Amino acid sequence: MARDDDYELRQSVPPERLSGRPYLKDEADELALHFDFRTVQSTMSKADPTALTLGYTRSMMGFLLLHPEPARIAMIGLGGGSLAKYCLQRLPGVDFTAVEIDPAVIALRDEFRLPPDGDNFRVVCADGADYIRAIEDSVDVLLIDGFCLDGLPRQLCTTAFYDYCYARLKPGGVMVVNLWAGDDLLQLYLGRLRQCFDGRVLLIDAQEEGNQIAFACKQEDFPPSLEQLRSRSNELAPAHPIDLPDTAARLRRALEGRRKQRGRGRSA
């Protein structure tokens, strides 16, 4: 929703950049997907189309520190397909399904050099909440990155949706949720997530201002040890140019904060 103090600025912006319809901004070395002129949904390096150029996407790949060898991944929210392209290139043999509600976003897949649908990759045009409720197959990792012009779609933040996500994860699975820190309902969503995943949730700040990434785990051995995070980041870093040691450090801080909070709760 535009604010009154944006009136003069809005008059100078083409109408399509205020409508919420996806459009491209083509720079010399980068292609960007926008829903409005203020926020970037996705970017692609023309020199390296599979690189993760936005910090929040690199942070979301921190699921590798919790589940290093996923066989099946599903993602809600296609955007420019950055996470899909990265996983298909860097995780040999992975099966990847991307679910996108907006046909206009899917229509831009060739611009972002997404591979065609095949045996191990497919793009499904559907509401993400409906898709998760309807599928019967289970996955190792769920990536939730479904944003619209107004932020997080409410159907992707309900207790029922999180319950279905938990049910669709295999034992040991991880759900990763990209959240907007400025959302007035953020704490409500996090409370629902913790309830559905029995408290097995870690929250870190993304590298961009404003994004936070939640890792919700269906793991009996949760939480991981600090040493496990450190050793996994060192093992995986040579194959993944996404600064996993930094993500591991943020996860360790989240773990330490969680333990202190639980300790205060027991002593109260």
Could you identify the residue written with the tokens 């619209």? 148
pLDDT of residue 250: 96
Q: What is the mean pLDDT of residues 39-55?
A: 92
pLDDT of residue 229: 95
137 and 170 in contact (C-beta within 8 Å)? no
Comparing 226 with 149, the larger pLDDT belongs to 226
pLDDT tens digits, one per residue of 75-129:
999 999 999 999 999 999 999 999 999 999 999 999 999 999 999 999 999 999 9
Does the pLDDT value for residue 173 go beyond 60? yes
Shared-domain flag, residues 64 and 180: yes
What band does 264 get if pLDDT is binned at 50, 70 and 90? low
pTM of the model: 0.89
- CA nearest neighbour of 140 among 192, 64, 203, 206: 64
Q: Name 180's bridge partners.
A: 211
CATH number at residue 88: 3.40.50.150
Does the pLDDT value for residue 158 go beyond 90? yes
Q: Which of 145, 183, 198, 221 is catalytic?
A: 145
Shared-domain flag, residues 29 and 92: no
Q: Is position 145 annotated as part of the catalytic site?
A: yes
Shared-domain flag, residues 59 and 172: yes
Domain that holds residue 41: 4-45
267 within domain boundaries = no
268 within domain boundaries = no
Does the pLDDT value for residue 265 go beyond 80? no
71 and 95 in contact (C-beta within 8 Å)? yes
Quote the number of domains for the chain. 2
Shared-domain flag, residues 129 and 239: yes
Q: What is the mean pLDDT of residues 65-69?
A: 97
- Average pLDDT of the chain is 88
Report the range of poorest mean pLDDT among 45-54, 101-110, 145-154, 212-221: 145-154
